[in-house]
Chain A
Amino acid sequence: MNPILIISSLLYILVLVAFGSLNGILMALALPLLIYLGAGWFYGRGSVSLRAERQLSRERALPGEPIEVTLTITNTGAHIESLLIEDQLPTGVKIISGETSLLTALPAQASIELRYTLTAPRGYYRFLETLITAADCLGVRQRQILLSTPGRIFVQPRVQRMGRVNIRPRGTRVYAGFIPARKGGSGVEFFGVRQYQQGDPLRWINWRASARHHQALFINQFEQERVADVGIILDTRRRSEVCTRGASLFEFGVNAAAALADSFLNDGNRVGLLLYGTQLDWTLPGYGKIQRERILQSLARAEPGESQVFEKLGNLPKRLLPANSKIVFISPLHADDIPVLIHLRAQGYALLVISPDAVAFERAALDPNDETAQLATRLARIERVLMLHKLTQAGVQVLDWNLNTPLEGALHTTLSRGIPQIHAVEPVR
């Protein structure tokens, strides 16, 4: 409560009662309060003019990495007798050393530094303002100011280094890469034989085939290896999130997306990322380290959310995904997602579904002897197996990811099985 208001009210009461009761003592008793008020006004009458600057030791970090924050406040106005500086922290960060608030007296043109070190889980954190309370020594005349001290931190997901992920999309781009392009040319893997043309290297001549034909030479062809377009779709719908004992299923999805994006980009592919949930957060496809940074920043911001529009997968904007590209969909999956995914496959996209096993994840947190939980788990598992089976039958590569196994190993096993060859798929209604 404002001290000026309190003392003024008491002054009024004392003076009025003093006049009403013709009692001079009460009038005299009002004098110390009046002097207190006057002293506060007199010593706190200067204007408050401050300049603030925030410095962060780094703008991007990994979860748990310490980040040092230095906030410098400079007094560009008159002497301030009592200055309380309270830095407004974004939610989720954890202070490991130092102080985020400070009480001091700040002479004119002097500066004071506030230093602290913080850590944070994966996320995007924005510093906006610092709350300043300037007052006279007695704190009668308090002025609160919100100083703009912008800053931002991206705490990116930890990228698990993976080996090459063998994908075979239907279409590839023109640049050389590591993905078999289903076209003859220079490469490593044998692709076919064709008649010799002028300019072909002699060491490619297939002497066995040439010997069977009169006056004709044949050469070996190798499968070209190119880069491809890869679209990673991360399911950020709230209903796909499962939290048990402080662990989050969503985080596994984010880490998987980061690891896959890193692997695909390292192989020279063009990678885009779509966060499907609260809104469409689309990172346009691109190559290289800058794209990696963009994707990691997008993943740092990712969090589960709700939206009526994106509640179901049906509103997935297929036009964003390059034709004949490889689509990696990371989601625990829901029954109503299956027709959409099958439809996507039918449109020619090579689809890989990485589905973190939500049933096992949730079961691990339940009492193993609870019979009801056991029955519920069995039912949920049957439902899940049926869903995944439908996808597999439709020619979708499916990784039923048990979270106890590393993604790389699980992915290698799934991809080594090859793509189910389905030539015509009718979308399930």
Chain B
Amino acid sequence: MKRIRRSFYISLVVAAAVEIIAFSLYGYPALALIPLLVATLWGLAEFRQWHWAATPAFIIFVVLLIPATVLRAHWFYLLIGLLATLTAWDLSRWMALAGRAQRLEDEALLVGMHARRLGGVLLAGLLLSLLGINLQFRIIFGGAFLLALSLILALSRLVSFFRRA
């Protein structure tokens, strides 16, 4: 449990630091206060075991990536920030689940399995994102429109399928 807690705080610091640096470097230091404040509150809430705070903080962190992108922050900061935020949120949820149990049966196995799965997801996400960012091709407007439409449609179907399942 200590390992998970330590990993959570490291992820939170990385997520906040990356967004703060991105906003500061690209000329909007005032905006950097938001991730700083949210990260502080999230960290404090986690310390007090108020796990409900994780989800709003996660949403704020991810949504803050949008203005950072608009401000033309470097994609590397954003990608690392997103992965760190996702890690912090995931670990916080795991701690919430584990906190409901009075006993963890074979804790090392549970933690190890979780770490491996999360590591795999993060690695796959990183690689695919890198591929997506570096892969550039030109398409006409109609093609882009159709692609966007089909993507949104596919996403909707996918999400509704997940929810149904």
Q: Which residues of B contact A19 (CB under 8 A)?
A: 148, 152
Complex formed: what's the CA distance from A102 to B75 in Å? Answer: 42
Q: Known A23-B69, A28-B132; judge A10-B62 contact (CB<8 A).
A: yes
B33 within 8 A of A: no
Minimal beta-carbon separation of A42 from chain B (angstroms)? 11
B21 within 8 A of A: no
What DSSP secondary structure best describes chain B's contact surface?
Answer: helix
Q: Which of B53-105 contact A (CB under 8 A)?
A: 55, 58-59, 62-63, 65-66, 69-70, 75, 78-79, 82-83, 86, 90, 93-94, 97-98, 100-105
Q: Known A102-B103, A103-B104, A104-B105; judge A29-B97 contact (CB<8 A).
A: no
Minimal beta-carbon separation of A107 from chain B (angstroms)? 11
| B133–A105 touching, CB < 8 Å | no
How many B residues are at the interface, by size bracket? 35 or more
- When C-beta atoms are compared, the residue in chain B nearest to A37 turns out to be B162
A36's contact among B78, B110, B125, by CB below 8 Å, is which?
A: B125
Q: Which residues of B contact A247 (CB under 8 A)?
A: none
Q: Which stretch (A134-142, A185-193, A203-211, A238-246) binds chain B?
A: A134-142
| B86–A36 touching, CB < 8 Å | yes
Q: Which of A1-42 contact B (CB under 8 A)?
A: 1-6, 8-17, 19, 21, 23-29, 31-33, 35-37, 39, 41
| A84–B122 touching, CB < 8 Å | no
B13 within 8 A of A: no
Q: Which residues of B contact A29 (CB under 8 A)?
A: 65, 69, 78-79, 82, 129
A28's contact among B117, B129, B152, by CB below 8 Å, is which?
A: B129
A100 within 8 A of B: yes
Q: Which residues of B contact A17 (CB under 8 A)?
A: 66
A331 within 8 A of B: no
Complex formed: what's the CA distance from A21 to B55 in Å? Answer: 26
A6's contact among B59, B69, B94, B105, by CB below 8 Å, is which?
A: B59
Q: Which residues of B contact A135 (CB under 8 A)?
A: 97
| A8–B162 touching, CB < 8 Å | yes
| A112–B114 touching, CB < 8 Å | no
Complex formed: what's the CA distance from A345 to B121 in Å? Answer: 83
Complex formed: what's the CA distance from A133 to B93 in Å? Answer: 13
Complex formed: what's the CA distance from A104 to B163 in Å? Answer: 25
Minimal beta-carbon separation of B135 from chain A (angstroms)? 9
- When C-beta atoms are compared, the residue in chain A nearest to B125 turns out to be A32
Q: Which of A73-102 contact B (CB under 8 A)?
A: 81-82, 84-86, 99-102
Complex formed: what's the CA distance from A15 to B59 in Å? Answer: 15
B155 within 8 A of A: yes
A41's contact among B100, B124, B129, B165, by CB below 8 Å, is which?
A: B165
Q: Which residues of B contact A4 (CB under 8 A)?
A: 159, 162-163
| A104–B97 touching, CB < 8 Å | no
| B117–A39 touching, CB < 8 Å | yes
Q: Which residues of A contact B121 (CB under 8 A)?
A: 32, 35-36, 39, 138
Complex formed: what's the CA distance from A47 to B94 in Å? Answer: 21
| B94–A32 touching, CB < 8 Å | no
**Max count, chain A CB within 10 A of own CB: residue among B100, B126, B148, B162:** B162
| B101–A11 touching, CB < 8 Å | no
Complex formed: what's the CA distance from A1 to B58 in Å? Answer: 12
**Max count, chain A CB within 10 A of own CB: residue among B58, B97, B106:** B97
A43 within 8 A of B: yes
| B155–A25 touching, CB < 8 Å | no
Complex formed: what's the CA distance from A24 to B113 in Å? Answer: 33
Q: Which residues of A contact B94 (CB under 8 A)?
A: 139
Q: Which residues of A contact B163 (CB under 8 A)?
A: 2, 4-5, 8
Q: A4-B162, A103-B98, A105-B105 are in contact. List 11 more A-B contacts (CB 8 A).
A: A1-B55, A10-B59, A13-B66, A14-B66, A19-B152, A21-B69, A103-B97, A104-B110, A105-B110, A137-B117, A138-B118
Q: What are 24 A-B contacts defined by CB distance under 8 Å?
A: A3-B93, A10-B62, A11-B155, A12-B159, A13-B62, A13-B63, A24-B136, A28-B132, A28-B133, A33-B82, A35-B124, A37-B162, A81-B113, A82-B97, A84-B101, A101-B101, A102-B101, A103-B101, A103-B104, A104-B106, A133-B100, A135-B97, A138-B114, A138-B117
